[in-house]
Amino acid sequence: MMIKNADIVIIGGGVIGCSIAYNLAKLGAEDIVLLEKNTLASGSTGRCGAGIRQQFGTEMNCILARESIKIFENLSEELDYEIELNQGGYLILAYTEREVNQFKKNVALQQSLGIDSRFITVKEAKEIVPPLNTEGVLAATFCPTDGHADPFKTNFAYAEAAKRLGVKIYTFTEVKEIETKNNRIVAVNTDKGKIFTSIVVNAAGGYSGVIGKMAGLDLPVYSQRHQILITEPVDPLFRPMLMSFSHNFYCQQTPHGSIIMGFGDPNEPKGYDMGSSWQFAREMAQKITAVVPLLKEVSMVRQWAGLYNVSPDAQPILGEHPKMSGFYMAIGFSGHGFMLAPVTSKLIAELILTGRTSLSIEDKLDVGRFERGELILEPSVV
């Protein structure tokens, strides 16, 4: 039987929602309810590429990622649940002069923020990833503390820890309606019943726009399919995440041995379609076998798709909506939700409970920045 009142209702059982629930409870909040229309990690978290990187091109993303990595490094102990963090680094390949220049700027920015990334030669790149085909590669950047973790385990780790702290998690419970009055949240209506609350946290990932509409808000995000494929497990070939912006792909070997890869299709329409296309599998195979020819013999076993929730500057939107008191958002992660979850969830929790954050984000990540025209576009996105 679902409870009827809650202090805070979080919508979305992905890593964002679960980590927010955990951080709220950790800071002492009570009567927290999390609603998930399917199972935990059934949306973008469970479909993502699992990468964690700090090599971004905007100051805010860099800082968030740096802080996130710090949390990730101790997360297994903190949550008492092995999340399989593997800091094998990110190797980002530059194929054009333009990229070389951008990467130099990025690295300078990153280093100024205390991130241990560096600009490296092709030879060094080859040493880091021996099976790499260096043809056409002009240079690369490498950050050894980047890496990946298991998104399912991370999601479940947060959920279990939140439950231990008293958070109530309802799966297969779909939010149908958000009741508001005088620009304040009143209640959340689900297919299992109504919960009265004054605070709602929109952590609905690909569907955050839909949740916004329920509260009468037009949120500046859209959803877009990103496809991904995975191979059979093979012997360890390389540790870092391999990435290229001009060839537009990422690829990593999981601890389990499977190789997971994806790319963003610039022609992909906005929407909620999560079907699998033949073109994606073919193009992905072409891209990756050109860069790592050793993978030619490896078999793909599965392909799927998930939704990016994209914001206008490819940086997340965090905070309360100025037009709806009690409506908080952790949305628009633009493909970086998993890697940014540990820090953004902490910030949102602080914001909800104290009105302040330990990192200054209010004027940089709030939804108002778009209207103010303060767009700082993240250049490093796949």
Partner 1 sequence: MSKDQGKNGDRKIICRCEEITEEEIREAIREGYTTIKAIKRRTRAGMGLCQGRTCSSLIQEIIAEMTEKKKEEILPDTVRPPLYPVELSILGQEGEERDVFSEY
Partner 2 sequence: MKEVEVLVVGAGPAGLGAAIEASRYGAKVLLVDDKDKPGGQLFKQIHKFFGSKEHLAGTRGFDIGFYLLKEANSLGVEISLETKVLGIMEKEIVSLLVKDQKIELLKAKRVVLATGGMEKSLSFPGWTLPGVIGAGAAQTLVNIERVLPGERILMVGSGNVGLIVSYQLLQAGAEVCGIVEAAPFITGYLVHAAKVMRGGVPLYTQHTVKEVRGEKSVEEAVIAALDERWNPVKGTEKTLAVDTVCLAVGLSPNMRLASLAGCKLEFFPDLGGFLPLHDDKLESTKKGVYVAGDLAGVEEASSALDEGRLAGISVAASLGYINSNEFEKLKKEYGSRLNQLREGPFGYKRALAKKQIISRFQQEEVGGTERDKEGETNSKLKRYTTIPSWSEFQEFPGYPSLERIKKGPVACIECIQEIPCDPCVAACPFKAIKINSHLTHLPSLREDQCKGCGLCLASCPGQAIFMLDYNYSPDKAAISFPYEYLPYPKPGDKVKGVNRRGEPVGEVEVIKVEQRHAFDRTAVVTIACAKEFIHQIRSIERRKDDV
Q: Which two tokens stand for residue 169?
A: 């998690």
169, 32 contact by CB (below 8 A): no
Between 197 and 231, whose beta carbon lies closer to partner 1? 231
Q: Nearer Cβ to partner 1, position 156 or 328?
A: 156
Q: Residue 267 or residue 278: which is nearer to partner 2 going by CB?
A: 278
User: Which one of partner 2, partner 1, none interacts with residue 152, CB within 5 to 8 A by kind?
Assistant: partner 1
Work out whether 314 is an interface residue with partner 1 (CB under 8 A).
no
73: tokens are 């490094």
Residues at the interface with partner 2 (CB under 8 A): 275-278, 282
**Interface pick for partner 1 out of 76, 189, 198, 303 (rule CB under 8 A):** 303
Residue type for position 96: T
Question: Do residues 367 and 328 touch, judged by C-beta distance below 8 A?
Answer: no
Give the one entry of partner 2, partner 1, none that residue 46 binds, where binding means its C-beta sits below a cut-off of 5 to 8 angstroms depending on kind. Answer: partner 1
- Rule CB under 8 A: choose which of 6, 288, 318, 361 binds partner 1: 288
Which residue among 4, 282, 323, 356 contacts partner 1 (CB under 8 A)?
A: 282
The answer to the question of residue 267 lying near partner 1 (CB under 8 A) is no
Stretch that binds partner 1, among 77-85, 114-122, 124-132, 292-300 (CB under 8 A): 292-300
Q: Indicate which of partner 2, partner 1, none lies near residue 31 (CB less than 5 to 8 Å, by partner kind).
A: none
Contact between 156 and partner 1 by CB under 8 A: the answer reads: yes
Evaluate whether 14 touches 44 at the Cβ level (below 8 Å): yes
Instruction: Give the DSSP H or E segment for 65.
Output: helix 59-73
Could you tell which of partner 2, partner 1, none binds residue 297, using a CB distance below 5 to 8 A set by kind?
A: partner 1
Closer by beta carbon to partner 2, 128 or else 295: 295
The span of 14-22, 202-210, 297-305, 320-328 binding partner 1 (CB under 8 A) equals 297-305
In this structure, what token pair is assigned to residue 188? 């959340």
Q: Per CB under 8 A, does 276 bind partner 1?
A: yes
Nearer to partner 1, 85 or 251 (CB): 251
| Residue 289 beta carbon to partner 2: minimum distance, rounded to whole angstroms | 14
Supply the minimum distance, in Å, between the C-beta of residue 205 and partner 1: 15
Given a contact cutoff of 8 angstroms between Cβ atoms, the answer to whether 216 and 194 are in contact is: no
CB of 92 to partner 1, least distance (A): 22
Q: What is the DSSP letter of 80?
A: T
Is residue 121 near partner 1 by the rule CB under 8 A? no
> How far apart are CB 299 and partner 2 at their closest, in Å?
10
CB atoms within 10 A of CB 114: 10
Q: Could you say whether residue 164 binds partner 1 (CB under 8 A)? A: no
Buried b (16+ CB within 10 A) or exposed e, 67-98: bbbebbeebbebbebebbbbbbbbbbbbbeee
Copy the structure tokens of residue 33: 């309810």
Q: Please identify, among the stretches 70-78, 141-149, 277-285, 361-369, the one whose residues bind partner 1 according to the rule CB under 8 A.
A: 277-285
Residues 158, 21 contacting (CB under 8 angstroms)? yes
Helix, strand or coil, per DSSP, at residue 124: helix
- What is the amino acid identity at position 340? L
Phi, psi of 85 (to 5 degrees): -70, 135
Given a contact cutoff of 8 angstroms between Cβ atoms, the answer to whether 332 and 309 are in contact is: yes
> Least Å distance between CB 302 and partner 1?
5
Residue 286 contacts partner 1 per CB under 8 A: yes
Place of tokens 């220049």: 101
Find the DSSP H helices in 113-237: 122-128, 151-164, 208-214
**How far does the chain reach from its first CA to its final CA, in angstroms?**
43
Tokens of 329: 């958002």
Question: What does 355 interact with, of partner 2, partner 1, none (CB < 5 to 8 A by kind)?
Answer: none
- Site residues (CB under 8 A) for partner 1? 39-42, 46, 152, 156, 160, 171, 231-232, 256, 276, 278, 281-282, 285-286, 288-289, 295-304
